[in-house]
Amino acid sequence: MSYLFRKGNSGLNQMVFEQMVLSETDCVLEVDFGPGHLILAMLNTVTKGEIYGVDFSKAMLQEACKLNQNSIASGRVQLLLSDSAGLPFPDNCFDKLCTVNTLYFWPHPKQQLREFLRVLKPRGKLVLGFRDSEALESLKLDIQVFNLYTAPEVAGLLKESGFDQVKLQLQSGSTLTSLVAKGCKAVP
């Protein structure tokens, strides 16, 4: 499973990484980090900040902890078992929040997005990597498990959940088209 996540998400992880525009002092949260490769990549830039991650899967938590064990031991990374609908963090604590290929599994996406908004600092940025319904329909996925969205629907979900400055970026790949939706938390 780890191999599939790494191989299938590597291009989208790179796109999300680039769109986050990290600084060395950022406090970052990755939601549903899978095997932890994006967290590992962020460590090269976030040298004076903190990186947190939550995942609902014990197997992925174990895999990511193994991959990032040195950074966890040094206190630079903290990984937790948690559902993204109820994040175990106080309000206004993250500069950046990212998630890759997770939107399809949320039964109530606005609930997750509002929770992301809650934990972001004012002016904090969400970067959400996904593939749209057109790209995923060709894979014949189980629609009982996967909720598919068009790019405009994802932008609408971010806006309806309270995000400002919502933008979409498309990147055509050799196999599947990847998209990133970005939004910011407004200053009160």
Residue ranges and CATH numbers for the domains of the chain are 2-183 (3.40.50.150)
When pLDDT is averaged across residues 88-105 and rounded to a whole number, the result is 95
Token output for 139: 């894979």
**What is the per-residue pLDDT across 22-40, written as a single tens digit (0 to 9) for each?**
999 999 999 999 999 999 9
State percent of the chain over pLDDT 70.
85
For the entire predicted model, the pTM comes to 0.90
The phi, psi pair for 64, rounded to 5°, reads -70, -35
The rounded distance, in Å, linking the Cα atoms of 104 and 176 is 16
The rounded distance, in Å, linking the Cα atoms of 165 and 174 is 29
